[in-house]
Amino acid sequence: MSKIPFWLRVLVAFALGTGVGVAFGQQAVPWVEPIGDLFVNLIKMLVVPLVFFTIAASISRLGEGALGEGGGGKAVRLGVVTIVWFIITAGLAVSLGFAIGHLIEPGRGLSGLPLADVKPKVIPPVQDVLIGIVPTNIFKAFAEGQVLSVVFVALFAGAGLSALGERAAELKTLVSQGSQLMFKLTRWVIQLTPFGVFGLIASVVGSYGLESLTPLLSFIGAIYLACLIHVFVVYPVLLKLHGLRVVAFYKGVFEAQQTAFFTCSSLGTLPVSLNAAIEKLKLNPAYAGFAVPLGANMKMDGCGAIYPAIASIFVANYFHIELTQSHYVIIALTAMLGSLATAGVPGVATVMLTLTLSTAGLPLEGIALLAAIDRIIDMVRTATNVTGQILIPTLVARENGLLEPASPLMKARAVASEGAGV
């Protein structure tokens, strides 16, 4: 199988899974669902130790000049710049969502759709989310997979290792070796992606059937179109403006995009995303080890920007509500800032839609209308999220000289310099 390109193995698995789901329907689910669940569990198993070891090792190297001159102060500035870029690209995503929503007008002319038994998510206050980042019990945070808390503990531990210097040399080496071990395990699990894809897609098609998608095809099409434009038009423009190779970037993130598409989990894809950023795109490990996990919690262009924008238009059309200019402003601000405030809250797409509809005064019943197709659209939403979670650290790394000389993103520039006699 190693002679067959990875992308082709995944594509064949996708086709086979779809065929099994269509042919056997619900009867296939008990047989194929465990295959997909096992793959997802393997990925999730790696998240907490990978995040801890990678961030702790990265921060511990700050005192050794891993980010160049400036050390900790530069790390803080990079964190602020990264979050600003999160907000900027979220603004672009929600604007695109509005444009596509008005072009396709999903929900217009529909009536009598069944309401699924779904309750809106309870949105915790921002201060509760922020307080919850600091765990009262480190081991409980690790056991429950509270990734933001794990990030905090890793930052704290890394800072302590950096402050101790040579007195903790052996422990720093151990943490660095732990990071390398997790990357090795991640590479092994990635090779199982075709099997996971087969189980996941066969389970989805078998559970819902293709006929269940027909009434909402315009909404599904709007989400997919907006996400694809954002990933393959907006993001390449940003890469070009930073003098980076577009094709090299997408080659580097392809496995992460595939994993995100089929697992529907940004956090579950985090091991693959880190592998892409550090080992394939050659971002500075100290910066990437912090920025990519941060993005996995706070950077949600698909779930937190495009989806609420188009879903709001769908709900307004279905319930015959005319959206005003103030509606659009409220939806845009909520979409741009909401994912930062709901970082670490499970089911972020439903949370964001709840937050957006309630803030804009639109019927929350719209959430139940879209529940049946959530898995189908979550695939492209999550792939969009993950692409952005790697893109922003890439742009910031380029702006701050944190791309390794061996990065494939820079080869075109290097060749041009040689040709100019530099």
For each successive 10 residues of the chain (422 residues), what is the average pLDDT?
Answer: 74 85 85 86 81 80 59 74 92 95 88 57 62 86 80 84 84 87 81 83 75 77 96 96 95 92 83 91 87 86 91 91 88 77 60 80 80 81 94 95 89 45 38
Which region holds residue 137: left if phi is over 0, alpha if psi is between -120 and 50, else beta?
A: beta
pLDDT the model gives residue 417: 44
pLDDT the model gives residue 418: 42
Is 422 a member of any domain?
Answer: no
Q: What is the CATH number of the domain that holds 247?
A: 1.10.3860.10
Is 129 a member of any domain?
Answer: yes
pLDDT the model gives residue 241: 95
CA distance 292 to 348: 17
Domain count along the chain: 1
pLDDT the model gives residue 114: 56
Range of the domain at 65: 6-416
Is 421 a member of any domain?
Answer: no
Is 1 a member of any domain?
Answer: no
Is 49 a member of any domain?
Answer: yes
Nearest to 293 by CA among 344, 346, 231: 344
Q: What pTM was estimated for this model as a whole?
A: 0.77
pLDDT the model gives residue 123: 53
Is 188 a member of any domain?
Answer: yes
What per-residue string of b and e applies to 44-56 under the rule 16 or more CB within 10 Å gives b? bebbbbbbbbbbb
